[in-house]
């Protein structure tokens, strides 16, 4: 592939290009001429170092052109372009991919997309991911309740059932996230616990199938009160933890090798000469 050579007349017009760059900024912001590139026939771009501290590593790019058989060179455009060492903003990432747990604030909306793989329709034609989960949702979430103020024996209204429920992918993602987080078995809190949550009276299991491995802590004094915890998590507020009796406390240790000097009435520490201790 033949490399296009810059038009000689346009390439020689360095001063014209510099003046064009200075006209859109400040003369002091236009530095050394660092090159010229051929863009097309009789079209070249001159590059100057940008001295503005806000654009470190950037360059002024001034494009010059001339008509066929003409000797006059004209300015097409003057812009700032990043050089090889320019400081650039990171690549743009869609907001949905930038979200992190805890970013959602009061009044914010985060609707799940129609193709969210963590969710499936509550009642498809067949398959474990639909009818089985729908029946479980009905059993767990659609219990009959009486309307406030209704007379005894009045017909109860069913709680609404979700249009979509967790898919197996959604359940697996949640289980991995919870088990590997601060409420899992590998946290420092769990490592120092006297027993796991599975044997604690304050542990309330979730419904099937996540209830096989997770529940909610209901101990107001526990660090994880009201949070999902794994069955093998734990803390010092375990319902069956044994308190340490007074007899099990270690004996008081007195340090006999160090002492503090204090002033007494009529005796000043600074004005007193002390003899060294034996063996000192």
Residue range 36-90, pLDDT digits in tens: 999 999 999 999 999 998 899 999 999 999 998 888 999 999 999 999 889 888 8
The residue extents of the domains of the chain are: 8-82, 117-137+161-167, 180-230
Confidence (pTM): 0.44
Reported as a single tens digit per residue, the pLDDT across 188-214 is 889 888 899 998 989 999 988 888 899
Residue 113 has pLDDT above 50, yes or no: yes
Count other Cβ atoms within 10 Å, centred on residue 158. Answer: 11
Q: Are 265 and 227 in contact (CB under 8 A)?
A: no
Q: CA–CA separation, 199 vs 205, rounded Å?
A: 11
| pLDDT at site 73 | 94
Contact by Cβ (8 Å): 167, 117? yes
Alpha-carbon separation of residue 45 from 6, 29, 152, 248, 278 (angstroms)? 9, 18, 87, 84, 89
Nearest to 39 by CA among 85, 83, 6: 6
Could you count the other beta carbons within 10 Å of the beta carbon of residue 177? 13
Model pLDDT, residue 161: 64
């Amino acid at each position: 592939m033949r490399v296009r050579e810059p038009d000689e007349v346009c390439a020689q017009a360095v001063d014209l290009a510099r003046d064009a760059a200075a006209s859109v900024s400040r003369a002091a912001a236009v530095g050394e001429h660092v090159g010229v590139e051929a863009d097309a026939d009789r079209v070249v771009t001159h590059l100057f170092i940008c001295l503005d501290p806000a654009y470190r590593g950037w360059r002024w790019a001034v494009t010059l052109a001339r008509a066929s058989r003409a000797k006059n060179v004209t300015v097409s455009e003057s812009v700032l372009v990043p050089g090889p060492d320019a400081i650039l903003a990171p690549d743009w990432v869609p907001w949905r991919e930038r979200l992190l747990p805890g970013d959602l604030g009061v009044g914010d909306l985060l609707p799940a997309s129609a193709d969210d793989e963590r969710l499936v329709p509550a009642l498809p034609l067949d398959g474990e991911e639909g009818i089985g989960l729908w029946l479980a949702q009905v059993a767990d979430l659609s219990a009959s309740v009486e309307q406030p103020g209704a007379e005894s024996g009045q017909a109860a209204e069913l709680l609404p059932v979700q249009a979509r429920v967790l898919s197996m992918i959604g359940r697996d993602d949640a289980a991995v996230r919870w088990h590997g987080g601060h409420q899992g078995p590998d946290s420092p809190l769990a490592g120092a616990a006297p027993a796991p949550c599975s044997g604690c009276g304050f542990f309330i299991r979730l419904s099937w199938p996540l209830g096989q491995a997770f529940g909610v802590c209901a101990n107001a004094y526990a660090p994880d009160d009201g949070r999902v915890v794994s069955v093998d998590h734990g803390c010092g507020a375990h319902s069956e933890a044994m308190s340490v009796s007074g007899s099990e406390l270690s004996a008081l240790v007195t340090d006999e090798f160090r002492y503090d000097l204090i002033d007494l009435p009529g005796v000043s520490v600074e004005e007193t000469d002390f003899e060294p201790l034996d063996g000192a």
